[in-house]
């Protein structure tokens, strides 16, 4: 089987998963969560208004028809309007994605670079003090609650010391920069721990391979082996790990965005949760699931492309 066929097969396989996802979402939010009319009409609603509204929203249709609507929205990306803000959901998502990505991409890139560098360092000095302290530091960083990081970071570094903006956001480069620095640092601190640990093992796995022994036997220095040979091979799992993280970047960081007033998708999601704004919650869920599925396929295909050892199955 060639690459092309494989990619097609993977794509086809995504269809039942997508159906599954929409089905789960539909069951959870349409069937169980129920009636939106009060959210829309507020405390002064009359009975007649509710009936009219249910009709407007298509909630008096059969379950099957309602599911078809959900499925259709996943393919057409037309999610209608938010219940709480009455805004076009796709419009909200576009604006939010921009804000989220301006925070998450730099943070992600920096965090990944730092994690890879630290992992290499740790592997290079394996078992030495530096290695041990790096591992311990990353475990410590992982063990503190995100909420504590945010509350303290904002209070100490932004307010008491005045190093950063407390909260806010502006569109356009470079206007957003001052606002994303502290959130980005918190993001990096949060994500660097697990990454360092993972990359370190990946690199160490490679170190034990035969070719390293051969290289050593040839008399190459440790540094050259590590950077030239080991890193090149370790890049495969590292890149897959990076790619698989991409969808989560778009969803942003729920709490970080909310506290720093960044109007990204995380913020939108959290507001939607607080407002029981189901169309938005549904749209966000469907979109992020779709991204996850797509990036999974990309990872798989990449993996087989890069690493011939992986069998096409």
Partner 1 sequence: MIAPPFPRSLWAETLRQMLQKKLTVVAMAVVFLYTMVALLAHWGLIAGDWNVEVGGSYAAPSIQHWLGTDIFGRSVLAKIIKGTEVAMSVGFVVALIAVTMGVALGALAGYFGGIVDECIVWFYTTVASIPNIMLLLALTFILGKGILSVYIALGMTNWVELCRLIRGEVKRHKDQEYVQAATALGASHLRKLCRHILPNVLHIVIICFALIFQFAIKSEVILSYLGLGVQNSPSWGVMIDDARVELARGIWWQLVFATLAMFLIVLAFNILSDALRDALDPKLKGK
Partner 2 sequence: MKNLIKLGVFVLIVLGMWFYTKRVHTPQNQNEKVLVTVGAAQIKGFDPAQTDDVYSACEVAKIYEGLLGYHYLKRPYELVPNLAAALPTVSEDGCVYTFSIKEGIKFHDNTCFPAGQGRELVAEDFVYTIKRVADPKVQSPWFSMLAEKIQGLDAWRNKYAVVAQTDYTEAVAGLKAVDRYTLQFTLIRPWPQFPYILAMGFCYAVPHEAVQHYGAEFLNHPVGTGPFTLQAFNPQLNKLIYYKNPTFRDKRFPSEAAEAYQHLLADAGKKLPLVDKIITHILPEEQPRWLKFQQGTIDVADIASDSIAVEVVQGDRIAPRLQEKGIQLFLEPEQSTGLFVINNGHVLFKNNAKLRQALSLAFDEQRYNELFHKGTAVLAQSIIPPGLEGYQKDYTNPYKIHDLAKARKLLTAAGYPGGKGLPVITLDVHATTQHRQQGEFFKKCMERIGVKIKVVPNTFPELLKRIDQKMTMLHALSWSADYPDAEGFLCLLYHSDQSMGIGAYFNDPAYNALYEKAIVMQPSSERTKLYEQLNSMAAEHVPAIYSVHRPHPVLYHGWIKNYLWADCLYGTEQYINIDLEQKKALQAKF
Q: Can you tell me the distance from the alpha carbon of 139 to that of 125, in angstroms, rounded to the nearest whole number?
A: 18
Q: Which of 251, 301, 261 has its CA nearest to residue 7?
A: 301
In terms of CB distance, is 94 or 213 closer to partner 2? 94
Q: Can you tell me the distance from the alpha carbon of 122 to that of 8, in angstroms, rounded to the nearest whole number?
A: 40
Count Cβ atoms below 10 Å from residue 284 Cβ, excluding itself.
Answer: 24
Question: Is 17 one of the binding residues for partner 1 (CB under 8 A)?
Answer: yes
Taking the complex as a whole, the smallest distance from the CB of residue 29 to partner 1 amounts, in Å, to 6
Which listed residue (2, 48, 62, 143) binds partner 1 by CB under 8 A? 143
Residues 91-130 that bind partner 1 (CB under 8 A): none
In terms of CB distance, is 284 or 293 closer to partner 2? 284
List the beta strands (DSSP E) in the chain: none
Beta-bridge mates of residue 81: 88
Which listed residue (18, 41, 220, 244) binds partner 2 by CB under 8 A? 41
Residues 106-145 that bind partner 2 (CB under 8 A): 106, 110, 113-114, 116-117, 120-121
Label residues 89-112 b or e (16+ Cβ within 10 Å = b).
Answer: bbebbebbbebbbbbbebbbebbb
In terms of CB distance, is 69 or 205 closer to partner 1? 205
* C-beta separation of 299 from 305 below 8 A: no
- Select from 13-21, 127-135, 170-178, 202-210 the region that touches partner 2 (CB under 8 A): 170-178
Q: Using CB atoms within 10 A of its CB, is residue 224 exposed (0-12), middle (13-18) or buried (19+)?
A: exposed
116 binds, among partner 2, partner 1, none (CB under 5 to 8 A by kind): partner 2
The residue count for binding partner 1 (CB under 8 A) is: 45
Q: What is the per-residue binding string for partner 1 in 164-203, x denoting contact by CB under 8 A? A: ---------------------------------xxxxxx-
Question: Is 284 one of the binding residues for partner 2 (CB under 8 A)?
Answer: no
Q: Which of 299, 241, 277, 221 has its CA nearest to residue 112?
A: 241
Question: 175 — phi, psi (to 5°)?
Answer: -60, -30
Q: Can you tell me the distance from the alpha carbon of 307 to that of 235, in angstroms, rounded to the nearest whole number?
A: 11
Which listed residue (53, 239, 254, 301) binds partner 2 by CB under 8 A? 53
Which listed residue (59, 254, 297, 302) binds partner 1 by CB under 8 A? 254
Footprint on this chain of partner 1 (rule: CB under 8 A): 16-17, 20-21, 24-25, 28-29, 32-33, 135, 139-140, 142-148, 151-152, 155, 197-202, 204-205, 248, 251, 254-255, 269-270, 273, 281, 284-285, 288-289, 292-293
């Amino acid at each position: 089987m060639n690459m092309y066929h494989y990619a097609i097969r993977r794509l086809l396989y995504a269809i039942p998963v997508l159906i599954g996802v929409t089905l789960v979402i539909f069951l959870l939010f349409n069937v169980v969560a129920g009636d939106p009319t009060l959210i829309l009409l507020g405390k002064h609603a009359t009975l007649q208004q509710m009936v009219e509204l249910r009709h407007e929203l298509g909630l008096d249709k059969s379950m099957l028809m309602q599911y078809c609507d959900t499925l259709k929205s996943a393919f057409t990306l037309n999610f209608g309007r938010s219940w709480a803000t009455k805004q076009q959901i796709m419009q909200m998502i576009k604006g939010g994605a921009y804000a989220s990505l301006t925070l998450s991409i730099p943070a992600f890139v920096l965090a990944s670079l730092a994690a890879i560098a630290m992992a290499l360092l740790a592997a290079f000095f394996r078992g030495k003090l530096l290695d041990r302290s790096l591992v311990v530091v990353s475990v410590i960083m992982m063990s503190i609650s995100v909420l504590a990081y945010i509350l303290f970071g904002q209070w100490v570094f932004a307010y008491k010391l005045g190093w950063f903006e407390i909260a806010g956001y502006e569109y356009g480069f470079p206007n957003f920069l001052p606002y994303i620095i502290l959130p980005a640092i918190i993001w990096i601190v949060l994500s660097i721990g697990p990454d360092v640990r993972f990359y370190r093992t990946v690199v160490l796995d490679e170190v034990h391979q035969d070719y390293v022994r051969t290289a050593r036997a040839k008399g190459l220095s440790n540094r050259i082996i590590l950077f030239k040979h080991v890193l090149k091979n370790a890049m495969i799992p590292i890149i897959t790990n990076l790619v698989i993280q991409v969808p989560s970047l778009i969803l942003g960081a729920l709490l970080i965005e909310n506290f720093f007033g960044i109007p990204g998708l995380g913020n939108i999601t959290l507001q939607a949760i607080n407002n029981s704004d189901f169309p938005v919650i549904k749209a966000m869920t469907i979109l992020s699931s779709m991204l996850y599925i797509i990036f999974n396929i990309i990872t798989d295909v990449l993996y087989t492309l890069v690493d011939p050892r992986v069998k096409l199955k």
